[in-house]
Amino acid sequence: MKGRVKKIFDSISRDVDVIVIANHIDPMIDSSFFYVTGYETGLFEGSVAFLYPDGSCVVLVSLLEETSACKGSDEFIVFRSRDEYNSIISERLNDKKRIGINAEELVYKKFELLQKIAPNSTFVDCSKAIISARSIKDKNEIERIRKSCNIASKVADMIPEMLHDGVREDEVAAEIEYNMKKLGADGPSFTTISSFGKNSAEPHYIGGKDTLTDNVFTLFDFGAIYSRYVSDITRTFFFGKASKKDKAIYETVFEAQQLGFDTIQAGIPLNEPHIKVAKFINDTPYKGRFIHSLGHGIGLSVHEMLRLSPLEEGAIEPGMVLTVEPGIYLPGYGGVRIEDDVLVKKNGIEILTTANKEFLEI
């Protein structure tokens, strides 16, 4: 993945001799490791990628990962013991004055090891350059995300058929994940949120034992992994007969999302879409009930370090893939969120998740 490594070095404000991306044990694996190596299979616990200014990448892997590493295009070295592991890292770093690290995802224990192995080197945080490089997707990344979004969209359209009196939240979650796998996903991109009634007012609801009863919102937030790249979609349905209030809440969120779509364009500040959407919602009876940022970047991670947030700096650029997910949450009553993934282009956006989102009473 020479082009990706070069892109990282092109974004670094201070010269470094090498960048080290070091994994710990699962789940503390640096997702940027897979960005620079392109590995599609394997876990790569304890593996280390050494990145060089000429775009080359040399990877240190355990014997356990040798077969997976053979599928990649980068040079790799296999270690068979802890002493050999430390020795190879030392050989790679002993003459390097300035060593870059990805501080956003580097486990402190690994950083201590690097400091011990290279005590005379200066360590430089290159995480901003890595985030910048990863935020603009290349064609290969976009194609994987697109396939992931297609899978999630198809499953979202199946959900109404899964809903009936007495079904449990976790049963629907299981159906969602099963159908994603059936359609080609490698797995869910995060723990599926399946929430009924008052639980839908909790944005990151974790639970799943409640059973479905009449006249409540049902909210489902999930995504698929396809060749390590993810999607993230939310759909809200009404089970039973909706009141005017229920319909008004949904329509407000629906319109807010469309405002977000209309606002997003290359060159504007990342915080502008959120500010406009939040103002729109705050001018309705639901002021203060939009309680999170409008969206975030997706790619190898479901929450990449890029947000449509009022506090975010920088500009929207072509090649970014972002979620757009306004919501209204009324504790003790219920909530509505509608979420889609969009690709920013030079002239507008492409909505990658295509599931129906018209108000639906089931």
pLDDT for 136 equals: 98
Angle at 225 between CA 311 and CA 70, to 5 degrees: 115
Predicted confidence at residue 215, as pLDDT, reads 98
- 248 contacts 273 by C-beta, under 8 angstroms: no
Q: What is the pLDDT of residue 112?
A: 97
pLDDT for the residue numbered 207: 74
The reply to whether 139-351 shares the fold of 2-134 is no
- Per the CB < 8 A criterion, the answer to whether 147 and 185 are in contact is no
Q: CA 195, CA 239: separation in Å to the nearest integer?
A: 12
The predicted model gives 153-171 an average pLDDT of 98
- Mean pLDDT in residue range 233-256: 98
What would the pLDDT profile of 172-210 be if each residue is shown by its tens digit? 999 999 999 999 999 999 999 999 999 999 999 987 899
pLDDT tops 80 at residue 259: yes
Pick the CATH number of 139-351 from 3.90.230.10, 3.40.462.20, 3.40.50.300, 3.90.1200.10: 3.90.230.10
Q: Determine the pLDDT at residue 107.
A: 97
Closest by CA position to 274, among listed 225, 312, 306, 219: 312
What pLDDT, on the 0 to 100 scale, is given for residue 89?
98
Crossing angle for the helix pair 272-282 and 244-263, to the nearest 10 degrees: 160
Domain spans, the chain: 2-134, 139-351
Mean pLDDT, all residues of the chain: 97
Quote the pLDDT of residue 206. 85
Residue 61 near residue 69 (C-beta atoms within 8 A)? yes
The string of pLDDT tens digits covering residues 309-360 is: 999 999 999 999 999 999 999 999 999 999 999 999 999 999 999 999 999 9
Closest CA to 223 of 136, 163, 145, 280: 145
The residue-averaged pLDDT of 289-314 equals 96
Q: Chain-centre distance of CA 360, in angstroms?
A: 28
Q: How far apart are CA 204 and CA 73, in angstroms?
A: 39
Instruction: Please list, in sequence order, all residues whose beta carbon lies within 8 angstroms of the beta carbon of residue 309, skipping any fewer than 6 positions away.
Output: 270, 271, 274, 293, 294
| Adjacency order of strands within the sheet including 348-351 | 304-308, 295-297, 321-324, 340-345, 348-351
Is the domain defined by 2-134 classed in CATH 3.40.350.10? yes
- Please give the full DSSP string across 102-130, using - where no structure is assigned: -TTT--HHHHHHHHHHSTTSEEEE-HHHH
SS3 205: coil
Tokens found for residue 257 = 């999302």
The predicted-structure confidence for 125-160, as pLDDT tens digits, reads as follows 999 999 999 999 999 999 999 999 999 999 999 999
| Mean pLDDT for the stretch of residues 99-119 | 97
CA-based R_g, the chain, Å: 22
Q: For strands 187-188 and 233-239, give the pairing.
A: unpaired
**Tokens 């809200």, residue?**
236
pLDDT of residue 108: 97
Q: What gap in Å lies between CA 66 and CA 35, rounded to an integer?
A: 18
**Residue 95: strand, helix, or coil:** coil
Q: What token pair was written down for 101?
A: 């690290």
**Quick check: 59 and 20 in contact, CB under 8 A?**
no
Which tokens go with 27? 């789940």
Where residue 38 falls (left for φ over 0; alpha for ψ -120 to 50; beta otherwise) is left
Q: What is the pTM of this model?
A: 0.95
Q: What is the pLDDT of residue 208?
A: 84
Can you tell me the mean pLDDT for 37-66?
97
pLDDT of 82 above 80? yes
